[in-house]
Amino acid sequence: MSNPARKARGRAAQGAGAPAGARLAAQQVAARPVTAFAGDTAEVISTMHSGTPASIIPGLASRLGVTQDSLFRLLRLPHSTIKAGSSKNDLLSASEQDRLYRTEEVLARTLAVLEDEGSAKAWLVQHNRSLGGEAPLALLDTEAGYELVLDTLGRIEYGIVA
């Protein structure tokens, strides 16, 4: 094997050939806090089919750096119903679970792209022209909004005007 080929193989094995953002994303996914939606896709689906307890909301709000009331408002979640259910550890509805799952996914992606927790939290709650003047979190109540936020993060990651 030639010396350049050996170097290329060594870099690939170390992940050095991958873009810095991809390496950081892999590190952050590995270091990601355990959540209700942790694990591989099959595990997440199984968890969601079994039901996710409303008690996950305080932890997610804390990781986002927002109050629970702000999280309810931004994600258009029924405040009183979930607040009452949280104390009884009731299960979330399918649409509520979906919104929280999207939020966790977008949080992880934002951390990977912006590479700074404070910047990521701020970006998620600030109004953004690329998102029609909405805060990214406010768009996660629909699949289309979720896709738009992920697309915008991809544009930021690759230096395309977003």
Burial class (CB in 10 A: 0-12, 13-18, 19+), 104: buried
Return the top range by mean pLDDT from 1-5, 55-59, 115-119: 115-119
d(CA 81, CA 91): 11
The candidate with the shortest Cα–Cα distance to 51, out of 20, 1, 83, 95, is 95
Whether residue 66 contacts residue 135, with contact meaning beta carbons closer than 8 Å, is answered with no
pTM: 0.74
Q: What share of the chain is helix, strand, coil (3-state, %, to 5)?
A: 70, 0, 25
Q: Is the pLDDT of residue 23 over 80?
A: no
Confidence at residue 1, expressed as pLDDT on a 0 to 100 scale = 44
Mean pLDDT for 28-53 is 74
Examine the pLDDT at 87 and tell me if it is beyond 80: no
Confidence (pLDDT) at 85: 65
DSSP 75: T
Quick check: 50 pLDDT over 70?
yes
pLDDT of residue 66: 95
Mean pLDDT of 102-120: 96
- The confidence score (pLDDT) of residue 155 equals 95
- The per-residue pLDDT of the chain, averaged, comes to 80
Top-confidence residue, 104 or 84: 104
pLDDT of residue 39: 81
Dihedral angle sign, alpha carbons of residues 49, 53, 54, 60: negative
DSSP 79-144: HHHHHHHHHHTPBPPHHHHHHHHHHHHHHHHHHHHH--HHHHHHHHHS-BGGGTTB-GGGGTTSHH
> What pLDDT shows up at residue 86?
66
pLDDT at 84: 66
Find out whether 51 and 94 touch, Cβ atoms under 8 Å.
no
Exposed, middle or buried: residue 47 (CB in 10 Å: 0-12, 13-18, 19+)? middle
Mean pLDDT of 87-102: 87
**pLDDT at 6 exceeding the cut of 70:** no
